[in-house]
Amino acid sequence: MKKDHLAETTIKVTDRRLRLIAKSANLNNPDDVTEYLANKKGKNGYIDSLISAYERYTRYNEIFWKKPNVKRYSQPPYVPTTEETSILIANAGTKYSLILSILRDTGMRPIEIERTKLKWLDLNRGLINVETAKNGNGRTLKLKPQTLAMLKTYLAKHNFNLNDNVFPPTKTMRSVYTKIRNRTAKKLQKPELRRVSMYSFRHYFATMLYHKTKSILIVKEQLGHKRIENTLIYTHLVNFAEDEYTHGTAQTIEQACKLIDAGFEYVTEMDGIKIFRKRK
């Protein structure tokens, strides 16, 4: 797989899944593996991932195998509310508040956070150059001022070289985040917080961006997707009810510009007063 230039994460995941199969079936006996997969308990998506791993094994080892068909049931991802993301960031501690804030600001994947090197950060302009994952497109993303300030403080405490990765491995981040999330859910008696994974911050970013811009192409570009089909899901994830907005009014151009800078969008004009709104 290395010769085919597959990502290191893909190689590791495939290896882990093959080792799991090998505990109960002979990898060189396709019928044995087929029977194992037929009796394996789990969601269809998980079984399909095992099938994909073994399919790679048979291809590389020139083993004939009639791959079983498993239907994946598509289910939309969970999109947390602004309140939920804010609660988790506030209770995450210095380092993980920064990591979660970057996820929320940029929609980066956790693996892209892991790969971030010091030389890819433009602290003067608040930009991150992202090396893509999942065969997507590389991109340059903007941090909000508060997140940028947190990043500068974090970097000042470490002696990173230009080629160093500045954040922990994905596995470590997910493990620590899960503990933070579960502890926060228990402390605040908000069990619904357990639905929020690190990847949920990416779904939040994409949904909010689409709501703000109404442009699926902008969302596609910011997420680094190559196929528009992967982005279209964000056009219908959330039903934005009227009571989820806060409103603002402007009588002058200066007042209108301040509202726009604060993220408000123009709605209409009544009696000479311009009305704006922004999602809470």
* 168 and 265 share one domain: no
Rg (Cα) of the chain, in Å, rounded? 23
DSSP 237: S
* 197 and 98 share one domain: yes
Task: Determine the longest span between alpha carbons in the chain, in angstroms.
Answer: 78
Answer yes or no: is 132 within a domain.
yes
Q: Tally the domains of the chain.
A: 3
Instruction: Say which residue the tokens 């056009």 belong to.
Output: 235
Cα 188 off chain centre by: 24
39: domain range?
Answer: 8-60
26 vs 239: CA distance, rounded Å: 49
SS3 (DSSP) at 277: strand
pLDDT for the residue numbered 61: 92
Task: Identify the bridge partners of residue 277 per DSSP, sorted by sequence position.
Answer: 247, 265
pLDDT for the residue numbered 266: 81
203 vs 212: CA distance, rounded Å: 14
Cβ neighbours of residue 228 closer than 8 Å, sequence gap 6 or more: 216, 217, 220
176 vs 193: CA distance, rounded Å: 15
Answer yes or no: is 1 within a domain.
no
* 227 and 146 share one domain: yes
The pLDDT averaged over each successive group of 10 residues in the chain (280 residues) is 69 90 94 92 84 92 88 74 95 96 95 94 95 76 95 95 95 96 96 95 92 85 87 68 68 86 78 76
Tokens of 268: 């209409």
Tokens of 136: 């997507």
Tokens of 39: 């009796």
* Direct distance between the N- and C-terminal alpha carbons of the chain, in angstroms, rounded to an integer: 46
Answer yes or no: is 68 within a domain.
no
* 120 and 92 share one domain: yes
* 119 and 218 share one domain: yes
Contact 195, 203 (CB under 8 A): no
212 vs 206: CA distance, rounded Å: 10
Contact 141, 206 (CB under 8 A): no
pLDDT for the residue numbered 241: 52
* 214 and 252 share one domain: no
